[in-house]
Amino acid sequence: MDHSIPARSRKKIWLGFFILFVSWYLLLYLIDWSPLPGFASVSHHQPNSVVYLGSDYSQNVSLMSHVNDTSKNATVYAEKEEKSVKISSTEFEGLRNELEPKVQQDDDKYAEKDQEKRAKSGRKSNSCTGRYIYVHDLPSKFNNDLLKQCKLLNKWTDMCQYFLNMGLGPALGNPQRMFLSKGWFVTDQFSLEVIFHNRMKQYECLTNDSTRATAIYVPYYAGLDIARHLWDSHNISVRDSDALDLVKWLREKPEWNAMGGMDHFLVAGRITWDFRRVIDEDNAWGNKLMLLSESQNMTILTIESSPWNKNDFGIPYPTYFHPSSDDQVFQWQNKMRQQKRRTLFTFAGAPRPNIEDSIRSEIMEQCTASRRKCRLLECKNGRNKCIKPVHIMKMFQNSIFCLQPPGDSFTRRSTFDSILAGCIPVFFSPASAYVQYLWNLPTDYTTYSILIPEDDVKQKNVRIEHVLSRIPRKKVSEMREEVIKLIPKVIYADPRARLKTVEDAFDLTIKGVLERVEKLRREIREGRNSSIDFDQENSWKYYTFGTTQEHEWDHFFLRTNRARY
């Protein structure tokens, strides 16, 4: 047989083999197989830096994709030069301002992609460049001493139990098999500053060299401080004294001088109105922490921010769930996906007879009138089911929608309990969430919630049951899936553990703060001041939409009751 093949054909066969071999070689080594399942082991051989470069690339792409051709060059230029050279093009800066909200959105998209990538590579980004945080070593009277006086912090409740487990409170266990065997705690809604501080102690990019830090954290327990005096002390100088001591202490530190405190941030675990006493009269509410001139420069994170002020930013209330592994998060999400929901809507709360324009009693009436379609948990006195996590969570898990009307103020912890339970929140004012939790909730509120304007309820123009039962089944399940996807973004993981791929509310907050401080730093360098770009009264609009143009929500934000807000 051999002899029957001419020499030329034999050469051709060898050439064929050679080409096959080369192509096989190229296929194996030059193409990144990692996106294909089953080829993960190949990517493991790559050094970490390759994985990192990979996500870096997608960042550039996504940063560029939102701009059209004219501005592409400018964006790339800015991204590259930011660290080393001062940007000189004022024309470009104007453009950037216009694009800011869009950039934000695209960054969010990027964050999602990035998270997927990290989930695949099984680790979070390892570079601390631009993420270093310096923590002030405050005198203990501003934090730890308050924990030691836990019995005196609240007139009615012994707060000591709530500081167990690094501020998470006592372990909840798994009563009625409602929760998971781990990760659940009886957490007080005002414990955030303690939880946040403990999370910060584990933050992966801490530095002792403040000149290297992008931002500076002030671990002052502002809410625990003022809670001691809210009901007892009618002496404003007593109420203000710690806040005044704090800013005095801060100003004497060299770190303050670098940016006049504009790189400083602190967490106040109570609503903003507890720190905004406008008049100096003993019977006025709260202290004036957030009104001090030093506080105007700092970024203050709080569970409810003021729509009319620019120095505070809303971050989620703590819930009962504080997972210590990614798996606990995924398990919980799946559990909520499979949950049978027999009630159309639910309301847990108390009427507010003392607040003239409160819609709560109307809501409770409507709920009662809707009979089996609505479940009502009326919170009349302190010792009832309302403060038992198991009752609240059971109701929310069995319900399709959860009503979140304003109470004493715009926001409620209940909003986050409802998201956690996969129950679609129904709001009555955009001030309750949409202009508050910009770093944690999607810009498009229609994807995960319902807005029924409070005036319509007050004037009895709508029946809540009708609005909710008319939403198509498909739309409802899409919304619920969005809500369930939000769960990781609104919970605070256990400070004693570290999640691998999931970004929680703490991670998103830190990202938001670092971005904001970096923007302020850039402005100072360029001699600009974006704070004069908009009237403080329009902060809600500027921060949410990047513009102060007329908006359909304007009527929600008329300041009708200045005594309250």
- Where along the sequence are the contacts to ligand NAG (CB under 6 A)? 56-57, 60, 68-71, 73, 79-80, 206-208, 235, 237-238, 259-262, 293-294, 297, 524, 529, 531-532
Cβ proximity to ligand NAG: between 235 and 446 the closer is: 235
Rounded distance, CA 302 to CA 378, Å? 27
Cβ proximity to ligand NAG: between 247 and 508 the closer is: 247
Give the count of beta carbons closer than 10 Å to the beta carbon of residue 284.
15
Q: Could you tell me the smallest distance in angstroms from the CB atom of residue 142 to ligand NAG?
A: 19
Q: Could you tell me the smallest distance in angstroms from the CB atom of residue 93 to ligand NAG?
A: 13
Cβ proximity to ligand NAG: between 66 and 511 the closer is: 66
Comparing CA positions, the residue from 467, 442, 441 lying closest to residue 453 is 467
Q: Could you tell me the smallest distance in angstroms from the CB atom of residue 68 to ligand NAG?
A: 4
- Neighbour order of strands in the sheet with 424-427: 374-378, 343-349, 399-404, 424-427, 450-451
Cβ proximity to ligand NAG: between 72 and 551 the closer is: 72
DSSP state, residue 553 = T
Cβ proximity to ligand NAG: between 67 and 441 the closer is: 67
Counting other chains too, the contacts that 250-257 makes at CB distance below 8 Å and 24 or more residues apart are 250/136, 250/218, 250/294, 251/294, 253/136, 254/210, 255/134, 255/136, 255/210, 255/216
Q: Which two tokens stand for residue 382?
A: 């302190």
Cβ proximity to ligand NAG: between 51 and 450 the closer is: 51
Nearest residue to ligand NAG on Cβ basis: 260
Q: Which two tokens stand for residue 321?
A: 């769930």
Cβ proximity to ligand NAG: between 260 and 442 the closer is: 260
Q: Could you tell me the smallest distance in angstroms from the CB atom of residue 12 to ligand NAG?
A: 42
Q: Could you tell me the smallest distance in angstroms from the CB atom of residue 19 to ligand NAG?
A: 31
Strand partners, 133: 206, 215
Phi, psi of 398 (to 5 degrees): -95, 5
Cβ proximity to ligand NAG: between 135 and 493 the closer is: 135
**Is residue 80 within 8 Å of residue 71, measured between CB atoms?**
no
**Is residue 126 within 8 Å of residue 48, measured between CB atoms?**
yes
Q: Could you tell me the smallest distance in angstroms from the CB atom of residue 396 to ligand NAG?
A: 40
Q: Could you tell me the smallest distance in angstroms from the CB atom of residue 238 to ligand NAG?
A: 5
Q: Which two tokens stand for residue 392?
A: 């609240």
Q: Could you tell me the smallest distance in angstroms from the CB atom of residue 73 to ligand NAG?
A: 4
Q: Could you tell me the smallest distance in angstroms from the CB atom of residue 220 to ligand NAG?
A: 17
Q: Could you tell me the smallest distance in angstroms from the CB atom of residue 15 to ligand NAG?
A: 37
Cβ proximity to ligand NAG: between 187 and 311 the closer is: 311
Cβ proximity to ligand NAG: between 92 and 330 the closer is: 92
Q: Could you tell me the smallest distance in angstroms from the CB atom of residue 206 to ligand NAG?
A: 4
DSSP string, 172-196: ---GGG-S-SSSBB---TT-HHHHH
Q: Could you tell me the smallest distance in angstroms from the CB atom of residue 439 to ligand NAG?
A: 23
Exposed/middle/buried for residue 463 (C-beta within 10 Å: 0-12, 13-18, 19+): middle
Q: Could you tell me the smallest distance in angstroms from the CB atom of residue 466 to ligand NAG?
A: 41
The residue with tokens 């703590």 is 318
**Residue 213 — left, alpha, or beta (φ > 0 → left; ψ -120 to 50 → alpha)?**
beta
Cβ proximity to ligand NAG: between 257 and 446 the closer is: 257
Cβ proximity to ligand NAG: between 250 and 487 the closer is: 250
**Is residue 397 within 8 Å of residue 423, measured between CB atoms?**
yes
Show Cβ contacts of residue 390 under 8 Å, excluding neighbours closer than 6 positions: 172, 175, 176, 178
Phi, psi of 401 (to 5 degrees): -120, 150
**Collapsed DSSP state (helix, strand, coil) of residue 350:** coil
Cβ proximity to ligand NAG: between 69 and 552 the closer is: 69
3-state secondary structure 239-304: HHHHHHHHHHHHHCCHHHHHHCCCCEEEEECCCHHHHCCCCCCCCCCCCCHHHCHHHHHCEEEECC
**Collapsed DSSP state (helix, strand, coil) of residue 135:** strand
Cβ proximity to ligand NAG: between 132 and 416 the closer is: 132
Give the count of beta carbons closer than 10 Å to the beta carbon of residue 56.
13
Q: Could you tell me the smallest distance in angstroms from the CB atom of residue 251 to ligand NAG?
A: 6
Which residues of 71-176 form beta strands (DSSP E)?
A: 133-135
Show Cβ contacts of residue 110 under 8 Å, excluding neighbours closer than 6 positions: 58, 59, 62, 63
